[in-house]
């Protein structure tokens, strides 16, 4: 069972030599496999952040680069935080990061999002304005949403920020952090014949149930990362309400 580490009085989290080595292994392996698989915006963000390769970065270090790029910060949090706190942080451009790293035995399979998932999977794209604005907006809307509609709204986060694919001139690329922090899924998402890869359709996305504890069977594909700006303009709360109440007839539920 993982526990988040508490930052000291200066906000520094101390990681053991084994934990730093785990980061180094993950970083080296993942930064290679995302080449020609992650979207250009992600790879550019990875360069901008220029995170240490031999030790777990501190939140303050990553925050410094994010602040300059889009005004975002990374906030160290406990492994489990109330949902409301999570949304409030996002709405205020603070990305929550649980301060623990997976063990060597869990390198390839992790259900609990650790610091590698947050820093490597999400922070590079938080340097991109379309992605950064989208995440902030999602937090604000989730705060306004009625609790009964949040799970439908949550599917939007899942199929974009966590597991989104995008079309590029070079072919399909990944921008979802849940994929980009997983060695296995980074290959599977693009190359396996198993999962469906459907054009992004907001109604269909909100109607699609998902499993968080197994590899995905379906991905949704944006035409461009810039489309996140367009999605932000939609009446997402109205749509989530209709779909939650089955007013907008379900056409395509999958239960995996």
Residues that bind Fe ion (CB under 5 A): 113, 177
Cβ proximity to Fe ion, 139 vs 177, nearer residue: 177
How far is the first Cα of the chain from the last one, in angstroms, to the nearest whole number? 27
Cβ proximity to Fe ion, 154 vs 177, nearer residue: 177
Given a contact cutoff of 8 angstroms between Cβ atoms, the answer to whether 99 and 76 are in contact is yes
Cβ proximity to Fe ion, 57 vs 113, nearer residue: 113
Give the Å distances, CA to CA, from 182 to 87, 177, 216. 24, 9, 12
Nearest approach, Cβ of 246 to Fe ion (angstroms)? 29
Nearest approach, Cβ of 176 to Fe ion (angstroms)? 9
Q: Cα(103)–Cα(91) distance, rounded to whole angstroms?
A: 31
DSSP designation for 223:
S
Given a contact cutoff of 8 angstroms between Cβ atoms, the answer to whether 11 and 61 are in contact is no
Q: Which helix (H) or strand (E) holds 167?
A: strand 165-168
Nearest approach, Cβ of 9 to Fe ion (angstroms)? 28
Nearest approach, Cβ of 118 to Fe ion (angstroms)? 7
Cβ proximity to Fe ion, 76 vs 177, nearer residue: 177
- Backbone phi, psi, residue 196, to 5°: -80, 145
Q: Cα(21)–Cα(133) distance, rounded to whole angstroms?
A: 33
Nearest approach, Cβ of 157 to Fe ion (angstroms)? 9
Residue closest to 131 by CA, chosen among 50, 38, 198, 218: 38
Cβ proximity to Fe ion, 80 vs 247, nearer residue: 80
- CA angle, residues 119, 122, 128, in degrees to nearest 5: 120
Cβ proximity to Fe ion, 164 vs 177, nearer residue: 177
Nearest approach, Cβ of 113 to Fe ion (angstroms)? 5
- Backbone phi, psi, residue 97, to 5°: -135, 115
């Amino acid at each position: 069972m993982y526990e988040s580490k508490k930052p000291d009085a200066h906000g520094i989290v101390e990681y053991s030599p084994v934990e730093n080595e785990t980061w180094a292994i993950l970083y080296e392996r993942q930064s290679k496999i995302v080449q020609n698989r992650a979207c250009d915006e992600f790879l550019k963000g990875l360069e901008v952040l220029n995170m240490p390769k031999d030790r777990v970065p501190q939140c303050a270090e990553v925050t410094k680069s994010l602040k300059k790029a889009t005004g975002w910060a990374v906030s160290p949090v406990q492994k489990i935080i109330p949902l409301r706190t999570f949304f409030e942080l996002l709405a205020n451009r603070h990305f929550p990061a649980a301060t623990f790293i997976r063990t060597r035995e869990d390198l390839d399979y992790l259900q609990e999002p650790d610091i590698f998932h947050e820093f490597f999977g999400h922070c590079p794209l938080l340097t991109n304005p379309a992605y950064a604005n989208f995440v902030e907006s999602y937090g604000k809307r989730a705060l306004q949403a009625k609790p009964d509609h949040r799970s439908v709204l949550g599917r939007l986060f899942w199929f974009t920020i966590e597991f989104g694919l995008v079309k590029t001139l070079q072919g399909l690329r990944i921008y979802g952090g849940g994929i980009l922090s997983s060695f296995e899924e980074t290959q599977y998402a693009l190359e396996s014949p198993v999962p469906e890869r459907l054009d992004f359709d907001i109604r269909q996305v909100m109607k699609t149930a998902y499993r968080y504890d197994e590899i995905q069977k379906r991905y949704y594909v944006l035409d461009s990362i810039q489309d996140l700006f367009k999605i932000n303009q939609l009446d997402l709360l109205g749509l989530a309400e209709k779909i939650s109440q089955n007013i907008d007839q379900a056409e395509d539920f999958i239960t995996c």
